[in-house]
Amino acid sequence: MNERVYKEIIEILPRKIRELLKAIMISNSNCGNLIEVRLRVNKPLICIYESGEYLISERGKNVGEKTNKVVNNVNNLGYGNESLYIVKESDIKELLQYISNYSIYAYEREIRQGYLTIKGGHRIGVAGKVITEGDRIKSMAYITYVNIRIAHEIIGCSNNLIKKIYNEEKNRLYNTVIISPPCCGKTTLLRDLVRNISDGRYFKPLNVGLVDERSEIAACYKGVAQNNIGIRTDVLDCCDKVHGMYMLLRSMSPKVIAVDEIGGENDLKALRTCVSSGCDLIATAHGENISEAKEKNRFLKEILDSGIFDRYIILNNKKGVGNIETVLDIGGNIVV
């Protein structure tokens, strides 16, 4: 974790937890990047690193297994000789005050969505008692569960991939979909592809329209992208994919449109409109592979069977997050 990210995370934490994590950062440099901090009232504080999940002791030590397996058989009091730090309701309240600058009601809309994005692009997921009004979520009371997801950019992770999705003869991109199981780096790869396309690595730079439905790609804070998405990228933040694609076509004259996690009922029509309007596509979808993605989502099957995509990038985490298993063309041939 670099100094900027460290400061952004530390300053929003409750004072007690802040001191615990400071102690951990000093004494445990071999855990890899911090990925998540999970707070649940009356439950142990948990940190998730690249090396696995750790419970946090009252002395500011990581305890538990150094593997990617969940730590089991732990009571609320201790683990081995260590007393675990138990998250208090006051910790959650203090955290929310820091995040919202002591005005949590100003973030009602974000809380209804279940998360807030803070400076640096870090996402704060929240859960608790949901207040409904008819069939819509009005607000959330008694927030007692918080997940701090630390934003991690991997600048350059798409450098060796960009040539495989570029059609030199036509001087344009192949319409490309990244297929990946959860937590395998598809959004990280999409972000870096957008940056490379926008900045013009290996070919002429292009204007990119990005629909960032869950603020995960650009990670806008007060409308400004916190992640590096290139100098020619325009972002619609917190916008529905379908509406966003149409809006970008009408207003921003993109050459490329990028969207995350396609597979909705109306997505295919919008994607076809983009292509017929002269835009190239970069998208992601959930799945272990093409066949599994089709089996689990009939709308995604329609999209993948439509022939709209020319390149299929398949990811897995066998060699770590973001590992590219293969790149296929529309005929199922490996692209080298």
Joined tokens for residue 53: 């999940």
The 10s digit of each residue's pLDDT in 128-185 is: 999 988 888 888 889 999 999 998 888 999 999 999 999 988 889 999 999 999 878 8
> Is pLDDT at 67 greater than 70 in this prediction?
no
User: pTM for the full model?
Assistant: 0.81
C-alpha span between 102 and 322 (Å, rounded): 37
Last residue of a domain, one of 130, 152, 174: 152
DSSP 208-262: EEEEETTS-SS-EETTEE-S---TTEEEEET--HHHHHHHHHHHT--SEEEESS-
Regarding whether 171 and 46 lie in a shared domain, the answer is: no
| The amino acid at 196 | N
Last residue of a domain, one of 117, 152, 187: 152
Regarding whether 177 and 307 lie in a shared domain, the answer is: yes
Regarding whether 122 and 82 lie in a shared domain, the answer is: yes
Contact by Cβ (8 Å): 230, 195? yes
* CA 311 from centroid of its chain's CA atoms: 22
Q: Are strands 166-167 and 172-173 parallel, antiparallel or unpaired?
A: antiparallel
> Is pLDDT at 105 greater than 90 in this prediction?
no
Last residue of a domain, one of 134, 152, 170: 152
In a domain? residue 157 = no
Regarding whether 117 and 3 lie in a shared domain, the answer is: yes
Regarding whether 321 and 176 lie in a shared domain, the answer is: yes
The 10s digit of each residue's pLDDT in 200-236 is: 988 899 999 999 998 889 989 889 999 999 999 999 9
Regarding whether 181 and 132 lie in a shared domain, the answer is: no
Which CB contacts under 8 angstroms, 24+ apart, belong to 8-11? 8/118, 8/119, 8/120, 8/122, 9/34, 9/37, 9/120, 9/122, 9/148, 9/150, 11/98
What's 237's domain CATH number?
A: 3.40.50.300
User: Could you tell me the residue range of the domain that residue 233 belongs to?
Assistant: 162-329
Joined tokens for residue 320: 């770590």
For residue 78, what pLDDT band results from cuts at 50, 70 and 90? low
Joined tokens for residue 287: 């799945």
C-alpha span between 85 and 167 (Å, rounded): 55
